[in-house]
Amino acid sequence: MNIATFRAALRLALTFACATASLLTVQAQEAEPPLGVDVLEAGFKWRPNYVSDDMLRHADKDANNWLHYGKDYQNTRFSQLTQINVDNVRKLVPKWNLSFGVNDAQDSQTTVVNGRVYVTASQNKVFALDGPSGRMIWKYERSLPGDLGPRLCCEAVNRGVAVYKDKVYMATLDSHVVALNATNGSLEWEAKLGDYKTGDIYTSMPLVAKGLIVVGNSGGDVGGNVGKITALDPDSGKIVWQTFTRPISASDPAAKTWADDSWKTGGVSAWLTGTYDPKTNLILWGAGNPTPDFDASVRKGDNLYSNSTLALDADTGKLRFHFQYTPNDAWDYDGNNEVILVDDQKGRKVWLHADRNGHLYSIDRTNGKCQWVVPIARVNWVTGFGDNCRPIINPEKVPRYDRPVTDVAPVLDGGKEWHPAAYSPLTRYVYVPFIDSSMDLQAKKQEWKRGEWFLSSKVLKANPYTGGVKAFDATSGELAWTRPQSTPATSGLLTTAGRLVFSGDAEGYFSAMKDDTGETLWRFNVGTGIHGNPTTFTADGKQYVAIVYGPGGGSIWPLVYDELFKRQNRGGGMMVFGLSE
């Protein structure tokens, strides 16, 4: 066969093959598709450590993971784990340690999903780690502007990340929210929410609520920036709604609570993580102190919505109601501290709130009405309470221009600082890390300047500190027990079904106490002061307890730590404990 004949035969064969294929296709189309499905595709893709809305909503029934700032939407910081308990806690030993590689204050905690640990450090670092071994899986480090330092009230702190679907979310010091790939740490998107040069920064863990990423800003004391609570789309970072914590125009009815248009530089930042109540679809978020901090005479009135818990519609951000703890705050007492959602033994649906103003409150979480208020430690800025637990201010303890006002209790840190309390459904106690101290204050006139401290204080002196942990009956407010210590409480708390309460202190001791008596059963010196929060989780069938350590912070903490640093080094990291083999 010559070449021409071969080519002709090949063309004929191809033509026949195409015709046959077309016929078979027609026949296949006419036939019943496999399994009765016209288009059958696997579409299979792994989603490792995926966090669903269902997981978040039922985190209170998930013993293995730590998915929220407060463990669950109720913000209890209670774990159902019992492997580590009152009978064997003395066998707790370090399993691994992570050095953060930075020396700033460390205010963070873990978020844990199926054995993978996510934790932040100061300077906006994020680490993803293997729970049992501490092996680093990935890390993210964000370069920060060189001129950021003077705008930071409390060092370059961060309080943790939220994990939702397949992303990790962090709010940054340079006023952004970043979304990271949960598997490899790559940057998925970033959204700018403010201008750090004005002092408007972000330090706290985001809240995932109703499919949105919700964050609050810092920067009231530095620059008098307006507080804002922002809800972002988790896939794009676009703003869905934004709520301001004080007036931004004279037409706002709340502006009447600020004399002489003082709302314009009034601060009221929203710098701690709020909580979400799925039953009422309300986000409960704390609003901070008004500015200037220590001269209330230039902003007469209640200064709404400073020093309050705001109840916001989760879909729109609209304010439904609020409760104000310290109207016309002249002591920098804030109102940002967390709320814990409890159904008490009288059947009341309440939130519990331990405030820097030195009091523990029970508030009806459906309408903002106060049930009771009790002191946490020594308090003298009030002489009593009126309707709806409104404080009756002691005029002898209000800062003035002509001389210092001495021994104002509590000190501006509290009461209770930002470090979160915990609640156990087993004891029905709320556990509060407390501070017992006072301060001397003198006000001064100060002109507001963009991006600069706006305290209006001539004298700010902290008197000697003590502190510890107290347990209060969540229904009555009655004190159940107290465990005093030589230094103020500087960490959040954790309580477990193993009948334990964990806490850290400024000297570096990480401790476990009995939940019904406060008896200390175990403690370990991590080597430097503790300011972070304890968490617990399981991995490979074993329970672990984690604590972030690293002293420092803003306000007057540098003065407090000055004595400790004579016999203590700085340094930041996380230590993870488990039972000895």
Instruction: Write the CA distances from 172 to 9, 24, 417, integer angstroms.
Output: 72, 61, 22
**Residue 161: which of 144, 185, 132 has the closest Cα?**
185
- DSSP element (H, E) containing 383: strand 382-385
Q: Say if residues 453 and 419 touch (Cβ distance below 8 Å).
A: no
Structure tokens at 485: 């210590």
Name 96's bridge partners: 576
Letter for the amino acid at 227?
G
Amino acid (one-letter) located at 508: G
Q: Are 315 and 210 in contact (CB under 8 A)?
A: yes
Cα 67–70–75 angle (5° rounding)? 120
Backbone φ and ψ of 298, nearest 5°: -90, 0
> Which one from 277, 295, 332, 515 is the annotated catalytic residue?
332
Q: Which of 158, 181, 152, 184 is nearest to 171 (CA)?
A: 158
Radius of gyration of the chain (CA): 28
Asked if 332 is an active-site residue, the reply is yes
Report d(CA 331, CA 342) in Å as an integer.
29
Separation CA 461–CA 442 (nearest Å):
9
Block residue for tokens 């959040």: 492
Tell me which residue has tokens 């501006």: 412
Q: CA 40, CA 33: separation in Å to the nearest integer?
A: 9
From residue 122, how far is each of 156, 526, 559, 573 by CA, in Å?
A: 5, 18, 20, 10
Q: Compute the half-sphere exposure of residue 485: CA atoms within 13 Å on the CB side of its CA.
A: 24
Residues annotated as catalytic (active site), given as ranges = 332
